[in-house]
Structure 1
Amino acid sequence: MVNEIRSTSQKEIGVVVTTSHNPSKEAVELAKKLSQNFKVPYYNRRHLSERVKTGEIKIYYVVDNNLQLSVIAPAGRLFFHPGMAKIRMENYKRDGRDLLLEALRPSYEDIIYDATFGLGMDAVFMAHFVKQVIGTEVSVHIYRVVSYGLSNYKSKEEWINEAVKKIVLFNDDMKDFIKRQPDKSFDIVYCDPMFENPVYESSALNPLRPLASYDTIDTEIVEEMIRIARKRVVIKTLIKDSLLERLSVKFDRVITSKRSGLIYACVDLDR
């Protein structure tokens, strides 16, 4: 049983909801509805530019005429799109191998907890192979866009549509969430904290960086992850980062990609 608390948003300064230019009636109605849900003002798009220039508005959500939601921050536009999951599946079907799957060793009855959900690129892929993925995302801006996308995105790939149905996402801090969970709440716990040395060539992630949490994990929180896991805990990091060196945890397997520099460090509890 998952014990969860959704965080509630306080009044946010410099954040509004608007539409794209020349909006449809449906887009305006949805934008006004989301402004109420988010507890931030709705602005007519014609009235936005000057306030952005003066810095009065720093972040704004946009509903376009396809009723898709994005958030625009100084680093760019962030929106939900499971394109990387599609590419990953194509590579897996072609090569018969994926390092994340090798780390997870999932079965179709497993429930995975994704502690640092982000844009959900890993979660959509993982969800295809398991019963359910429960995720937490601490950034309210990332949570809003991704949660909306999970509920409304329609793919030409039916496996993606089925996968997103198996995902439940909460706007919560993983450290608080984990401490509220009973022992052995999940089959697998997966954690992908923001890298110390990010790959800036990953253009899809660049708009996320200013909105994301850079709060890292320590030995205590990994021990809590081990407590709530039945089968294993998997930590994703980079070869050039120092995360694993700072953790006083015995990992049973460390899977490394020489090409990308990614590391999956695994604590196997079902060995």
Structure 2
Amino acid sequence: MNFVVTTSYNPSKELIEIAKKLAIEYDVRYLNRNHLPKYLKKGLIDFYYVIDKKKMLSIKWRDGEFFFHQGIAKIRMENIRHGERDYLIESINPSENDVVYDATCGLGSDALLIANYAKKVIATEGSVHIYRVVKWGLSNYVSEEEWINKSKEKIELLNENYKDFIRKVEERAFDVVYCDPMFENPIYESNSLNPLRSFALYEPLTKDDLEEMLRISKKKVVIKTLKKDNLYKEIRKYFDEEYVSRKSGVVYGVINKTEV
């Protein structure tokens, strides 16, 4: 896909410099925002990175936008504080000394929530475009929620495909391994996820992947899936516990690590 880096309208010299540096880093062209419409009209670019006046990075295209935000994590934390259940946190049950591996970071909402309870979260994201936006957000976004600011500091995000990463990590490298592959039957009502679908990697989780995840974990592996997905039907036999949302059909399947 063809893309460029630009700024919001009427940018400062600082914004222009940031955008130009990113264009060099991404090995693409920097484009003055005023010149962008004619490129879009001619179909010369598919999407574009934007540095806005708050110095935040996003990706835009004709009818959509992908940007880093805290929305889901913030709402879920509010629900937890009001005594509601959160199946992710219940299934992982992270302690303050745990290092958790989040194999499929996406927007980073799960990583933020986990990091609030854990010592550290190592996360991988295979899509370079999702990685860039989320990495920038984790580094530059300042929240009104102090727990989010603290959680951001405990997340290390890597641009790697989890299938490759789990095969080169040493045994028992993490206390808990968590994987949330893209659903086969997407929940389109999930507005926060819809914009990233165009950039996400769709790769099926295999039995070999599960074995590698168990190898690099000390305590457990947690897989998020949907009851109506084939993945659930294929791997449910390995689950020792299931945390299921009756409303959405989302399942957090837990495979406890047993020592031989």
Matches within 5 A, 1:30-69: 30-69=18-57
**Aligned residue in 2 for 1:8:** none
- After TM superposition, list the pairs within 5 Å mapping 1:31-180 onto structure 2: 31-73=19-61, 76-180=64-168
Does residue 198 in structure 1 map to residue 199 in structure 2? Answer: no
Change beyond 3 A, Cα 1:222–1:249: farther
Runs of 4+, deviation exceeding 2 Å: 246-249
Amino acid paired to 1:202: S
1:218–1:246: 8 Å Cα contact kept in structure 2?
A: no
Deviation at 1:75, TM superposition (A): 5.5
Partner Cα separation in structure 2 for residue 189 and residue 114 of structure 1: 6
SS of match in other structure, 1:32: helix
Report the counterpart of residue 253 of structure 2 in structure 1.
265
Aligned residues: 259
Q: Which runs of 5+ in 2 are unaligned?
A: none
> Cα offset for 1:66?
1.1
Q: Is the 8 A contact 1:108 1:129 kept in 2?
A: yes
Whether the 8 Å CA contact 1:26–1:65 is kept in 2: the answer is: no
**Secondary structure of residue in 1 paired with 2:82:** helix
Does the CA-based 8 Å contact 2:96-2:117 persist in structure 1? yes
- Secondary structure (helix, strand or coil) at the match of 1:52 reads helix
Give distance in 2, aligned partners of 1:97 and 1:48.
46
Q: Alignment RMSD, CA only?
A: 1.4
1:253 corresponds to which residue?
241
> Paired residue for 1:218, among 191, 203, 206?
206
TM-score, length-scaled by structure 2: 0.96
Structure 2 CA distance for aligned equivalents of residues 206 and 53 of structure 1: 24
Cα deviation code 1:5-31 (max 9, x no counterpart): xxxxxxxx5111001111122211111
Q: Structure 1-normalised TM-score?
A: 0.92
Contact 1:123-1:133 within 8 A present in 2 as well: yes
Change (3 A) 1:249 1:223: farther
Q: Which amino acid aligns with 1:180?
A: K
Shift of 1:82: 1.2
Give ranges in structure 1 of 5+ residues lacking alignment. 1-12
Counterpart of 2:66 in 1: which secondary structure?
strand
User: Are the aligned partners of 1:183 and 1:229 in contact in 2 as well (CA < 8 Å)?
Assistant: yes
Q: Is the 8 A contact 1:75 1:207 kept in 2?
A: no
Q: Which residue identity lines up with residue 266 of structure 1 in the other structure?
A: V
The residue aligned with 1:234 is 222
Tell me the distance in 1 between the aligned counterparts of 2:247 and 2:98: 29
- Quickly say closer, same or farther: Cα 1:192–1:75, change in 2 above 3 A: farther
Cα distance in 2 between the residues matched to 1:204 and 1:80: 10
Query: CA contact under 8 A between 2:178 and 2:223: conserved in structure 1?
Result: yes
CA distance in structure 2 between the partners assigned to 1:202 and 1:248 by the alignment: 24
- Matched residues, percent identical? 52
3-state SS of the aligned residue for 1:264?
strand
Which range moves more in the overlay, 239-248 or 200-209?
Answer: 239-248
CA shift in 2, pair 1:41/1:228, >3 Å? same
Corresponding residue SS for 1:211 = coil
Match of 2:9 among 21, 33, 36: 21
Which residue type is aligned with residue 71 of structure 2? G
